[in-house]
Structures are given as structure tokens and as C-alpha cells.
Amino acid sequence: MRRRLIGLIALALLAAACTAGGGSSKPVQTVAPNASHAPLTLTVWSNFTSGEYKVTTNALNMITKKYPWMTVKHVGGKEDTAIERSISGGNPPDVAISFTPDNAAKYCQTGAWQDLNPYLQADKIDKNAVWPAGVFSYTSFENKQCALPMLTDAQGLYYNVDLLKKHGFSAPPKTVSQLADMAKKMTEYNPDGSIKVAGFVPLFGFYSSTTPNTFGHAFGAKWYDQSLKPTLASDPNWAKMLQWQKSLVDAIGYGKLQKFAASLGGSDSEFSAQNGFEAGKIAMMMDGEWRTAFIARDKSKVNYATAPFPVDDAQADLYGTQLVGGTIAGIPKGVKHPAESWLLLKFMTTDTSYLTTLAHGLKNVPSTFETLKDPVLQNDPHFKTFMDVFQNPKSTFKPITPIGIADVDLFGTFATKWQAGKVSDLTAGLKALDSQIAKQQTLG
């Protein structure tokens, strides 16, 4: 292994010298990137597809310009389950990208993704000087930094300026009661009573941003207490959110909303030119910053603007905040070239030119302090909304736990039954949901 003999430097680390914070440190090897190296190709797995895959692949290829001896093979369409199977099978990719930050705690606890603190210490990277504090809520667990952010996401409100004007509105809603009133007034019906244009589609499970998690944030609802005990029943904001959502569903009509969603192509239309908002058939929609890229890529003619998502009328101070957190990347257990994997991962999560290029292409929120200054994105009025939401100190990700996304999935199943009128006792249902999540925690 000539390459490793030439290019690796053994570094003994001192835990006391840690500015990256937390966890025990073990000696790791890092790479002298500008030394002589034999050519090496590293594999990166992600769940990017189509246009986003191309953008990410082109950005990843920038590593070769910086380090001519390194090339990257980018494999898209890989969900977390595929990554986990590859780790179990002993043949993981050199770097893994996940769209599911909920899984970071599980990866930290099980060691499926390696603790990066020793690498950060070895390269004298001060985490707190590079990334806003919020990103650590979904990339670390119990003092293990097993993932780093590769851009991030923020949620907000997209609204059709022409449809608002048509119905006499000059500004987007700021509270959920305003949102409900406007949604009902802007919903247009065909002669047979079916929906022609929806003011807002409140159905859980319709598009990926319309979830109990995002709606819950608008009400300040908390998933867990400080001991990670579920609080879906004890925090009244959850019931308040669900009752608001159900009242809007009932006012428009559950069956009509279902048929309308199906007429658009259901959830399959979300990332296509048939997306209801892009097609001018939905007046207001919650979505992430990435929609700005899809609107441009799909050549949609919709005249739109963005704003923070409306919040609970009784909690006006939440306006300007929402759920944040997005793509994470890490080094799987069992990689064959851990030092080189770290060099690539460091590039993918800290290099300003790479992250800015990727942020421009994917239209995702850049995740480092330095890239957040990017003037192109700051001067884009559609995008700036999401930059501001991300930097709001009250914008958060939900607490991550070793059960991964199981809590989100359980709540999603419950919410689907709730909106269909199949939950007769909301309080009892939320208590049962708490018990289900607690049971998952004990099972691990």
C-alpha cells in the first residue's frame, strides 16, 4: 500500500485539546493531501436522483481539481436502508449521505457512522466557529459527532401572488387562523363540487413538507421532555395543532381533498412539473427552499413569493421560525480508507467553494457561517426567506433519538387516521402514541 505509506500521517490526539467538543478521542490518521499519492477513487452514496444527482456529482468532481490524485464515484438513489445494509455486509461506501437526520442518533449510538471528533481535533477545526449551533442538534448524540451537515433545509410558505390578488389579498397569512380563512376563501370548485383550485391542502401525507412535525413547530409543540420521555399527550400544543388541521380538512372536505390530490398525481407529483403549486392549482403551500430550484427547472410560470410559515395565533413570537435540518454526511463503519474518507468528507462539509456551488445548484441553504454570507443567495428574494428562517435562533430540528425516524412514522400513521375521522378520542390516542414511542425506545 504505497499510497498510504507516503500520504498518511499518524497523529496522536489529546482529548484535553478538544475544541470540537465531547467524546473520548482515539488516535486517528489523517492525510497530507498535497503529498504524493497514488490515484484513488472513493465512492459516495446518496439518495439524490435526476437533476439533483447531476448537480451533486458535478460538485463532488471539484475534489479532483483540489486534489488531483482523488476522484469520486457518486452513486445516487441510495436510501438509508441500503447504506445500513452495506455497513452490515462489510462493504460500505467511503462516504455516506443521508436525507434523514433523524437517524443520526442511531448511527452515533451504534457506531454505524464513525465519531468525527478525533478527525476534527486532528485538523484543529473548531466546530463552533464553522457551523451555527442548530446543526449539532441533528448531527451529534451523546457527545459523538457522527455526522456533519452538507447544506441544510428550512421550511416556509410559498404563495401564488396572482391567486391571492384575485381573491383580494395583498399579503400572505402570518397566523394559522389567517391561513385557514384565506385557504377556504381561495378554494375554487367545479360545477360538480370537486376542487378546481385549492387555497391550501392541509392533508398529512400529501406532499413531504405537510407533516405533524412541521405543523407542530408552528404551534411550538415539543416531542420530548429533557429525559427524552415522549410528550405528545402532555403538551397541549399537539392537540391544538391537530384540531386546527382537522377543522380545516373538514371545512373543505376530506373526500374532496383526497380526490383533488389524486387528480394532481398524488404524492408522485411533488417533484415533477405536475406539482400542484407549480401548476397553479394550489394557492399556498408549505415547502422547503429546494422548491425554488424545481420551479425554475420545471419552467413553471407561477408568479410566486415566499414567507415564513404562519404560526399559532397565541405564539406570535414563533413567526419567522420553522423546522430546519437537512442533508447529513458521515463515514460508515468499516471503510477501507478512513483517512481519505475524512479528507473527502471535510471537503464536502467545510469547503466554501464546494458548498456554495452546491447551494446554487440544489438551492439548499448553505450550512457554514462563511457560506451563509453568499451574496447571490442573500439577494434572491425567494430564497432569502429560508436563509433567515435557518438563522433564526428559535428554528430547530426535533430531538433525535436512537429509534431514528420511528417516532415520526408512528405519528404520521396516527395523523393519517386522525384526519380521516378514525380517531374518536384525541387525548387517548396521543397517550397511546406516547406509549408506542416509549416502547420503541426500550426496544432500541
What is the residue whose three cell numbers read 478525533? 118
Determine the pLDDT at residue 19.
37
At 361-372, the pLDDT tens digits run: 988 999 999 999
Helix 352-362 vs helix 338-350: angle between axes, to the nearest 10 degrees? Answer: 60
Would strands 188-189 and 155-160 be described as parallel, antiparallel, or unpaired?
unpaired
CA 116-118-122 angle, 5° bins: 120
Determine the pLDDT at residue 444.
64
Determine the pLDDT at residue 1.
32
Q: Is 78 helix (H, G, I), strand (E, B) or coil?
A: coil
Determine the pLDDT at residue 26.
67
Laid out side by side, the sheet with 40-45 consists of 70-75, 40-45, 95-98, 328-330, 148-149
Determine the pLDDT at residue 138.
93
The residues of the chain scoring below 50 in pLDDT are: 1-24
Distance separating alpha carbons of residues 206 and 124, to the nearest angstrom: 45
Inter-CA distances, 240 with 176, 330, 390, Å? 11, 38, 25
Q: What DSSP string describes 188-206?
A: EE-TTS-EEEEEE---TTS
- 327-358 core/surface letters (b: 16 or more CB in 10 A; e: else): bbbbbbbebebbbbbbbbbbbbbbbeebbbeb
Q: Is 9 helix (H, G, I), strand (E, B) or coil?
A: strand
